[in-house]
Structure 1
Amino acid sequence: MIITGNDSEYIAFVKARLREHFLMTDLGPLRYFLGIEVFSISDGFYISQEKYIQDLLACAALGDERTVETPMELNVQLRASDGDPLPDPTRYRHLVGSLVYLVVTRPDISYHVHILSQFVSAPTLVHYSHLLHVLRYLRGTSTHRLFFPRSSSFQLQAYSDTTWGSDPADRRSLSAYCVFLGGSLIAWKTKKRTAVSRSSAEAELRAMALLTAEVTWLWWLLADFGVSITTPTTLLSDSTGAISIA
């Protein structure tokens, strides 16, 4: 059980009452939980999965110590038919599944993990080589962390972007967004669209609609936590056509 809050006396009271009914050990301030490391400082706290990454790299048993600067090469379009099938896809599936959990603290690989996860049913040697590329990127960036400042405004700001017809198999687009609460990144996602967009403006507008639904949900969630958002949420997009339609 994790007990959080800023009232130390009430937290001590709750722990004392719990000890009256349950056998429990007080492990002190949160440091490590479910593969996520938490570092608290006076200005805020960091969360990372550095140890999780090191364990993942050890499991992958890469044959060299190379690192790369990007998770995936630019403009890569993977197909299900690329390359020869892997003799045993178990390792590929395990590594991709581990990367899906890593996205909890590493939004920079969200798009690339989404791409690789589409081929877990029948991965090929080409897909596996791109998976190793992501792992080499993580080796060089294992210390990257998310920072959540203690003093931050309760103002939501959202960003959306999309590809247009980027999947060579079905021409569907990939939408992505991220949402900040003040200076804290609190939500991000990459999602393949269910319908084919006939223009880049339509694809961007669908991405904005997806993000609007997420922001609306966040408003209600923050209200449940007692945080009232009184100012409109800024939604940023790089598509002049979609902005004009919106």
Structure 2
Amino acid sequence: MDVKNAFLNGDLKEEIYMKLPPGMSMIAAHEVCKLRRSLYGLKQAPRAWFEKFRNTLLTFSFTQSQYDSSLFFHKTTTGMVFLLVYVDDIIITGNDNGLITKLQNMLSSTFKMKDLGHLTYFLGLQVHYGDHGFLLNQHKYIHNLIELAGLQNANDADTPMEVNVKYRKDEGELLPDPFLYRQLVGRLIYLTITRPNISYAIHIVSKFMHSPRHLHLAAVRRIVRYLIGSPTRGLFFPKQSTLHLTAYSDADWAGCPDTRKSITRWCVFLGDALISWKCKKQESVSKSSTEAEYRAMSTACSEIVWLRGLLSELGFPSSDPTPLRGDNTSVIQIAANPVYHERTKHIEVDCHYIREAFTRGVITLPHLITDLQVADVFTKALTRQRHKFLNSKLMLIDLPASI
């Protein structure tokens, strides 16, 4: 559903005055308007609209999630209904059709809304349904991106980034106009919603937004050329998937050639479906690969705790610990060992959050051989064979396919 003129529905708590709009005659000098409702352009408008929408749902016996403020849900004896809102775009789903109809009628009577029907397109994401599950991709978005880059007739690339190539901030000649570079990278960042396999490449090129160079633009064009060969690829969510969380964590020690900071990488699966991932440079320099991987594992642990809380709130509590798989035995020993020793004294206290989670039984730390480390795709450029293998592990498939 789509709300028409959403920000005009917000109620203002502050006294706000504005100049008379053009074309409105003044009766007295220095006359102004006192606003009774919010307008587009006010800083308070988004907050006022969301507060009005939130209060409306709460009066209809919906509950706002403690883990995601944009998610609302209502449990009945016959099922559950979920509502997800992004500014003025709303998704409603559930297995209580009667409550869904009542909710739609209530919202339509309170706000001016348009029912867009069955979900097929949302914020640039296309939804494809099948007998075995559904697929999320951004086919139209990729097509527009290729046109923006001017690569409609270019050959496709096997991988998003060349292997063993390190890009530095001062290498090569500066671009005379960085506008196109920034525009392409900005759009590529949004594309990672359904294309996690390009997250590492986007992470690299986004570091040079301030002063991009010709080599950096060539790297961006290679990413676009990679998309040419797989424009319909997206994330597949199978219907028969279980509700058990599994996580993978890894790090690229001193991976940034300019700062020597390490790169955190992790991904979380709900059954067979990939639902969360991260590729991010760490905030401080790690003195060893063990420390870098320990930090990455601690960050992944925070995501696991959040997801477990969200699932429990929605009625799917997990009694078993969530496996957090890593390929560094030293990290596993440090997290499982309560003894404070020489190797960990320089690691910040917040990193030991993972040790507490392990002790409480929230996670387990099974060792994983490097060849099966799914998180590899988020921290390094891979060969064609390795990249293809990990794509299948991430449940990335192309259309047309039997979904």
**Residue 244 (structure 1) aligns with:** 333
Normalised TM-score (structure 2): 0.59
**Residue 351 (structure 2) aligns with:** none
Q: Deviations over 1:173-226 (max 9, x none)?
A: 101110001111110011101111122122111111111111111112222222
Cα distance in 2 between the residues matched to 1:86 and 1:5: 50
Say if 1:13 and 1:200 are closer, same or farther in 2 by CA, change over 3 A: same
From 124, 131, 135, the equivalent of 1:42 is 131
Cα distance in 1 between the residues matched to 2:319 and 2:165: 42
Instruction: Tell me the secondary structure at the aligned position of residue 114 of structure 2.
Output: coil
1:78 aligns with 2:164: no
Mapping of 1:42-191 within 5 angstroms? 42-62=131-151, 64-191=153-280
Letter in 2 for 1:49: Q
Instruction: Tell me the secondary structure at the aligned position of residue 118 of structure 1.
Output: helix
Instruction: Tell me the secondary structure at the aligned position of residue 91 of structure 2.
Output: coil
- 129-138 vs 235-244, which moves further: 235-244
The structural deviation recorded for 1:19 is: 3.2
Gaps of 5+ in 1: none
**Residue 100 (structure 2) aligns with:** 11
Letter in 1 for 2:162: E
Cα distance in 2 between the residues matched to 1:165 and 1:53: 32
Say whether the 8 Å CA contact 2:174–2:214 is kept in structure 1.
yes
Cα distance in 1 between the residues matched to 2:115 and 2:286: 54
Q: Deviations over 1:135-188 (max 9, x none)?
A: 000111111111112232221100011111111111111011100011111100
**Residue 294 (structure 2) aligns with:** 205
Instruction: Tell me the secondary structure at the aligned position of residue 77 of structure 1.
Output: coil
Letter in 2 for 1:200: S
Cα distance in 2 between the residues matched to 1:122 and 1:97: 15
Cα distance in 2 between the residues matched to 1:62 and 1:79: 25
The structural deviation recorded for 1:232 is: 0.5
Gaps of 5+ in 2: 1-89, 336-403
**Residue 312 (structure 2) aligns with:** 223
- 81-90 vs 63-72, which moves further: 63-72
How many positions carry a matched residue from both structures?
246
1:33 aligns with 2:122: yes
The structural deviation recorded for 1:57 is: 0.5
Cα distance in 1 between the residues matched to 2:296 and 2:134: 31
Q: Which consecutive segments of 4 or more residues in structure 1 shift more than 4 A?
A: none
* Higher relative contact order, chain-length normalized (CA < 8 Å, sep 6+): 1
**Residue 324 (structure 2) aligns with:** 235
**Residue 194 (structure 1) aligns with:** 283
Normalised TM-score (structure 1): 0.95
